Copies of this chain bind each other. A is one copy, B any other.
């Protein structure tokens, strides 16, 4: 199947290129960029920041303007900035394209699936509703904000088995979450920045939408405090949970370790064997050592212990913010859509 990447020169766009360069189902056929980039070959238009090299055949594609008329693809991945995504993604859907978007623009639309596939595979059914309502053949499906992707995957097995009443989350987020050039070195060396614009609201709302039923947000409460730390990749999250039914730390560890969902059952190409890896070492997870677990698609959880405030549990979760938290999640969504006949 032919895949296009909208906004292919940014950091998330590059991650899409890297994840799709040898994908078994999807083949990159179109890359789009800003007016400034359009017309250039990709190699020259991009400031390549990935650790692995840029594949020759992709490097030589000509960057197209972000216009549905100029794109030939079965599936479109959007790494557009939110403001631009708002209109452009609708233009593509109206032209019949299936768009999987990393942008926040449509995440909270009631008829747009906001998906972290292992957590809410069933939300795909909103596509039918979206097509009826919006009268288009295409589709817009979104992946969560990076911090939310890590959080919701770690919460899903707890929600299923014990129910959730309250969730408090404090994040230590990597610099790559802000794109490139993103965070200035003068702002982050020997420092912590305790503010990321709009992030806490996103985490709170998106978590409720993902862990709710299709079209109905969950009713448990979420409070987030989001902070940037001097780390390249990998968001670390301290999570405090009050469950509806009592659960011991062993119960929680067991339900996380054993957790799999449709993407694993369907053996989707990008689905990690173990969506959640539980570490028993007392000082893990750590971003530098654990962010590549499951090729960046697994969430690594450790330090599961009693929480005295909620008589619940607290733990530390870590995930790769530009893979599980962005491009990797979007690719898994596309695979999920294909498996269910939506593309």
Contacts and interface: CB of A to CB of B under 8 A. Distances in A.
B195 A186 contact: no
B230 A189 contact: yes
B170 A170 contact: yes
Contact of A185 (B175, B283, B287): B175
A82 interface: no
A238 B225 contact: yes
A191 B229 CA distance: 9
Nearest to A200: B305
A73 to B, nearest CB: 29
A83 interface: no
A186 B191 contact: no
- The A interface, classified by DSSP as helix, strand, loop or mixed, is mixed
Contacts of A160: none
A225 B309 contact: no
Given A168-B168, A238-B225, A308-B204, A190 B190 contact: yes
A314 B240 contact: no
Contact of A182 (B11, B185, B188, B240): B185
Interface in A156-210: 166-168, 170, 172, 175-176, 180-195, 204
A25 interface: no
Given A168-B309, A308-B222, A316-B225, A302 B194 contact: yes
A285 interface: yes
A258 B172 CA distance: 31
A236 B192 CA distance: 8
Interface of A: 11, 49, 51, 166-168, 170, 172, 175-176, 180-195, 204, 221-223, 225, 227, 229-232, 236, 238, 240, 282-289, 292, 302-303, 307-310, 314, 316
Q: Which 6 A-B pairs have the closest CB atoms?
A: A170-B170, A181-B184, A225-B238, A195-B283, A223-B309, A191-B288
